[in-house]
Amino acid sequence: MTTTAATRRKVGNTGLELTALGIGSAPLGGLYADVPTAQAVEMLQKAWELGIRYFDTAPMYGLTRSEHLTGQVLREHDGSHALSTKVGRLMTTERAGRKLPPEPPKNPLDPGWWNGLPFREVFDYSYDGVMRSYDDSQQRLGMDRIDLLYVHDIGRVTHADLHDHHWGQLTKGGGFRALQELKAAGNIKGFGLGVNEWEVIRDALEETDLDCCMLAGRYSLLDRDAGETFLPLAQKRGVSLVLAGVYNSGILAAPKGGRKKFNYADADPAIVARVEALRSVCDEYDVPLAAAAIRFPMRHPATTCVVIGAKTAAQLAQNVEWFNTDLPEAIWADLDRALENA
């Protein structure tokens, strides 16, 4: 049976199902460009019309703006969707007399927000921090149902010298225990990590059982970093994988000569050359490079779902068309060779 964007796929033993294509709402927070409210709502409505029933958001996206917009749309529908958000960041404001932790070092994987709301993030992976984040997200979404919680942006690349501190909050400080309690109480159906670093998911599996994890950018047509060791481990441990960043910040979806972003920053010439080698193969098959990029992760049995972001309804419709494109089997071996030789 051909997997389409609207195909439902099971998440481990949680009883939850995700559509094979999901919506990631980082763009609604103003990722790279302003997204007006009406435009964001129209995109989310279009996703529903096209059969997509998995929506992911996070407090970080637009400094809570994305959660507000996602909840605004989903509240108007029949509840047949799956919803995930994230924990690890609390949102607050600078006020006279309020003592806040020092501003954290700039996360190299955080591109900033064009139209974010006037809040400041404070990292907190502790028991109390996870519980408060869960409560805060329900209020912003205007919904008392959240299906999946991901621990957001934990890892050494993200936190550098502060990683051990944050990891201690998550492990010894009760962050994982809070997630376990929320699941045991039936408040959520499952939990995992939402990260750019697969190594930290591997480490987390030594601490607790994970139901579903979102991994961004580390298993794509261009970047196979997680493919050799981590994806087989996730499959062995029964961890469903939601793969995001399949266009690697847009470079695999941009037209030739278009914007060259890779891992949230300007791409260097070596990366651009590899992308053009992949594009040449796709041109030979008369297939859009983006169609190959969005379908590639679904070829691995560890993958449950691919999540993409879109700023407009038209972009979303184009992504669904790419996802639903039938590609010739021979293209994959040719793409592998092109990447090896680039």
Q: Kindly write down the DSSP assignment for every residue of 133-194, as one continuous string.
A: HHHHHHHHHT-S---EEEEES-SHHHHGGGHHHHHHHHTTTSHHHHHHHHHHTTS-SEEEEE
- Catalytic, out of 32, 46, 54, 86: 86
Taking the C-alpha atoms of residue 26 and residue 247, their distance in angstroms, rounded to an integer, is 14
User: Tell me, what's the pLDDT at 2?
Assistant: 82
Catalytic residue among 46, 54, 56, 247: 56
Contacts of residue 229, Cβ cutoff 8 Å, sequence gap at least 6: none
Q: Is 311 a catalytic site residue?
A: no
- The pLDDT score that the predictor gives to residue 323 is 98
22, HSE (Cβ side, Cα atoms, 13 Å): 30
189 is catalytic: no
Q: What's the CA gap between 33 and 37, in Å, rounded?
A: 13
E-strand spans in 226-308?
240-244, 261-262, 265-266, 303-308
What residue has token string 């278009």? 258
Question: What pLDDT, on a 0 to 100 scale, did the predictor assign at position 288?
Answer: 96
Question: In the numeric block, which tokens belong to residue 231?
Answer: 């994806």
Structure tokens at 240: 């469903």
Cβ pair 186, 92 in contact under 8 A: no
Greater pLDDT, 139 or 109:
139
- Does residue 254 carry a pLDDT above 90? no
Share of the chain above pLDDT 90, in %: 83
Of 32, 46, 54, 61, which one is the catalytic site residue?
61
How many helices and strands in the chain, by DSSP H and E?
Answer: 12, 14
User: Regarding predicted confidence, which is higher, 257 or 233?
Assistant: 233
Identify the weakest region by mean pLDDT among 104-108, 122-126, 179-183.
104-108
CATH top-level class for 8-271+290-328?
Answer: alpha beta
Strand-pair category, 82-87 with 16-19: unpaired
**Residue range 280-295, pLDDT digits in tens:** 999 999 999 999 999 9
Owner of token pair 């859009």 = 288
Q: Is residue 86 annotated as part of the catalytic site, yes or no?
A: yes
Domain residue ranges of the chain, discontinuous segments joined by + = 8-271+290-328
Q: What is the pLDDT of residues 150-179, one digit of tens each?
A: 999 999 998 999 999 999 999 999 999 999
3-state SS assignment for residue 269: helix
Spatial neighbors of 341 by CB under 8 A, at least 6 apart, are 277
User: For the segment 175-189, what is each residue's pLDDT rounded down to a tens digit?
Assistant: 999 999 999 999 999
Average pLDDT over residues 40-61: 98
Mean pLDDT, rounded, for 327-334:
97
Residue where the block lists tokens 């590899």 = 274
